[in-house]
Amino acid sequence: MGAFEEYEQYDGMGLAELVRREEVSPAELVETAISRIEELNPRLNAVIHKMYDIALEEARNPQFDGPFRGVPFLLKDLTAAYAGEPMRSGCRFLEDFVPRQDSEIVRRYKCAGLIILGKTNTPEFGLVPFTETELFGAAKNPWDLTCNPGGSSGGSAAAVAARMVPMAHGNDGGGSIRIPASCTGTFGLKPTRGRNPAGPLVAENWQGLSIDHVLTRTVRDSAAMLDATHGPDVGAPYVAPPPKRPFLDEAKTEPGELRIAFTAEPFLPSTVHEDCVRGLEATVKLCQELGHEVVEARPQVNGLEFARAFFTMVCGETGATIEEMEAVRGRRARPQDFEPSTWAVGLLGRQIPASEYSKALHLLKSYGRVVGAFFERFDVLLTPTLSRPPVKIGELQPKGIEALALKALGRLNSGRIIKSLVNIDELAAQVLEFIPFTPLFNASGNPAMSVPLYWNATGLPVGMQFVGRFGDEATLFRLAGQLERAQPWRERRPMVC
Rounded Cα distance, 386 and 435, in Å: 5
**Residues with Cβ within 8 Å of residue 344, at least 6 apart in sequence:** 406, 409, 410, 418, 422
The three state secondary structure string of 407-431 is HHHHHHCCHHHHHHHCCHHHHHHHH
The three state secondary structure string of the chain is CCCCCCHHHCCHHHHHHHHHCCCCCHHHHHHHHHHHHHHHHHHHCCEEEECHHHHHHHHHCCCCCCCCCCCEEEEECCCCCCCCCCCCCCCHHHCCCCCCCCCHHHHHHHHCCCEEEEEECCCHHHCCCCCEECCCEECCECCECCECCCCCCHHHHHHHHCCCCCEEEEEECCCCCHHHHHHHCCEEEECCCCCCCCCCCCCCEHHHCEEEEEEECCHHHHHHHHHHHCCCCCCCCCCCCCCCCCHHHHHCCCCCCCEEEECCCCCCCCCCCHHHHHHHHHHHHHHHHCCCEEEECCCCCCHHHHHHHHHHHHHHHHHHHHHHHHHHHCCCCCHHHCCHHHHHHHHHHHHCCHHHHHHHHHHHHHHHHHHHHHCCCCCEEEEECCCCCCCECCCCCCCHHHHHHHHHHHHHCCHHHHHHHCCHHHHHHHHHCCCCCCHHHHHHCCCEEEEEEEECCCCCEEEEEEEECCCCHHHHHHHHHHHHHHCCCCCCCCCCC
Rounded Cα distance, 447 and 62, in Å: 33
Whether the per-residue pLDDT at 83 is higher than 90: the answer is yes
Chain-centroid distance, C-alpha 378: 25
pLDDT of residue 415: 54
Whether the per-residue pLDDT at 131 is higher than 90: the answer is yes
Q: Please identify which of the residues 89, 152, 210, 387 carries the catalytic annotation.
A: 152
| pLDDT tens for each residue of 98-109 | 999 999 999 999
pLDDT of residue 1: 47
Rounded mean pLDDT of 27-42? 97
Instruction: Please count the CA atoms within 13 angstroms of the CA of 492 that sit on its side-chain side.
Output: 20
Burial grade of 248 (CB within 10 A; 0-12, 13-18, 19 or more):
buried
Q: What is the CATH number of domain 12-254+480-486?
A: 3.90.1300.10
Banded pLDDT at 380 (limits 50, 70, 90):
very high
Answer with the residue of higher pLDDT: 80 or 495. Answer: 80
Catalytic residue at 210?
A: no
Rounded mean pLDDT of 67-88? 97
Report which of 84, 88, 89 is spatially closest to residue 99, judged by C-alpha positions: 84
Catalytic residue at 152?
A: yes
Query: What length does the chain have?
Result: 497
Q: Average pLDDT over the chain, rounded to whole?
A: 94
Rounded mean pLDDT of 342-359? 92
Whether the per-residue pLDDT at 2 is higher than 80: the answer is no
Catalytic residue at 270?
A: no
| pLDDT tens for each residue of 399-457 | 665 555 556 556 666 556 556 555 667 767 777 999 999 999 999 999 999 999 999 99
Q: Please identify which of the residues 103, 176, 222, 270 carries the catalytic annotation.
A: 176
Percentage above 70 pLDDT, the chain = 94
**Domain boundaries, given as residue ranges, for the chain:** 12-254+480-486
What predicted TM-score, i.e. pTM, was given to this entire model?
0.96
